[in-house]
Amino acid sequence: MKTLFYRLQKFFGVDLAYVARGGFWLGVDQAAAIIISLALTVSFANLLSQQIYGTYRYILSIFGILTIFTLPNMDIAVVAAVSKKLEGSLFRALKERIRWGFVGAAASLLLSGYYFFNQDQTLGAAFLIVAAFLPFTDAFNLYGAVLKGKKLFKLKSQYSVIIRAVSALALVATLLLTSNPLLILLAFFVPYVFLRVGFFLLTIRKIPLNDSEDPQTIAYGKHLSVIQFLGALVNYLDNMLIFHYLGAAPLAVYTIAMAPITKVQQAFSVIPELAMPKFSARPLSETKAFLIKKILKALIFTAAGVGAYFLIAPPVFNLFFPKYFESVFYSQLLSLLLLALPFSLIYTMFQSQALKSHLYRYNIAIRVFQLVLVIILVPLYGIVGAVFVRIIFQVFSVAVLLVLFRSVK
């Protein structure tokens, strides 16, 4: 066993002991997240009509866009600060996230007023609920940035699993009792907000934090979040256009097709999470020297996984999503997106070294390209157009990453 361990370590060129220590608990967290999320997806798909599920997903898509006002990438800046023992940045980051979250809440109120004016009581009330919870839903999730920065992956995993499990139970219980999208929305928000606040308070109580601040943390977190704005808009724009042009039921079909792919992407995010503290502590030249070789080796395994998914998707959908068998073909095509996952480590390197110009150039280039594709292809070709937008966009984004990677000095 030790021989195999050392051979794998030599092949990938990584510290597998570090991956085993931190990656095990991050893996537990992601495995729990994937299992719980898939169970919820199965519950939604089988307990709700396509119309109601599509409406619920539309509301969450708008919510996803509005969360950009809560400075979601402030977490990355806080991880970097805590890794450097500049922990006093946490509380300033929390205040900024809540303060800007109220801007998002105001936008949700305007949207609510629009739907009430157009006699859509359900969506009008839904965006009132979104406005009430938006400033707080993600802000207190900064406890996770502290734990990651201190490499307390076990504790972060335990807290995350509890939040996900309790929230999932609340949602399933609600689904069994009602199909009212407003009550389902409340069941989504309430556990997340209160549990995250609780674990934030527990974290700062259990873990001594110094008062040292990195004066760049807040500015950097804002930069990262501004960079993400266009991405958040475009990533949810396909959902909005499908809902607008085709209706709620086709959006449900597209959502189910994306679900397994999203879960695999979520699982892979363990690797960038582990890499971030390592990349932050290393010189840029050292990280650049070994990164591409590791990416190409990881690509071999990713390609094998995509091939396997093509084979197992039909029976899996037939078993778990019998009302959504039309999603199978779309999901098989979307699995090609997974081939781009290893290249995301280049983006992690840009983030860890605060290469702002590279981050801006990358995000502006790919998001403008994606925006044009979405606006043209989704209205013309519906779900098929949305699928091909994602595939073409992913190819383009990898190409841009590689060009920018070569320019790093």
CA nearest to 25, candidates 208, 183, 153: 153
Length of the chain: 409
Contacts of 247 (CB under 8 A, 6+ apart): 51, 54
Token duo for residue 347: 């983006």
- Match 């990164």 to its residue by tokens: 291
Entry pTM: 0.81
Q: Is the pLDDT of residue 20 over 60?
A: no
pLDDT at res. 12: 45
> How far is Cα 379 from Cα 243, in angstroms, rounded to an integer?
11
User: Is residue 3 over pLDDT 70?
Assistant: no
Average pLDDT in the chain: 86
Looking at 121-152, list the stretches that DSSP marks H as alpha helix, in order from N- to C-terminal side: 121-137, 142-149
Q: Does residue 73 carry a pLDDT above 60?
A: yes
pLDDT at 5 (0 to 100):
44
Between 188 and 282, name the one with better pLDDT: 188
What is the C-alpha separation between 242 and 387, in angstroms, rounded? 11
The sign of the torsion formed by the CA atoms of 17, 18, 22, 23 equals negative
- State the average pLDDT over residues 231-252: 88
Angle between helices 248-268 and 217-245 (to 10 degrees): 150
Strand ranges (DSSP E) for 204-356?
A: none
* Mean predicted confidence (pLDDT) in 203-229: 82
What whole-number distance in Å separates Cα of residue 393 and Cα of residue 371? 10
Q: How far apart are alpha carbons 267 and 166 in whole angstroms? A: 20
CA 326 to chain centre: 25
| Residue 283 pLDDT | 66
Per-residue tokens: 335: 């699995």
One-letter amino acid of 395? V
Give the whole-angstrom CA distance, residue 21 versus residue 305: 25
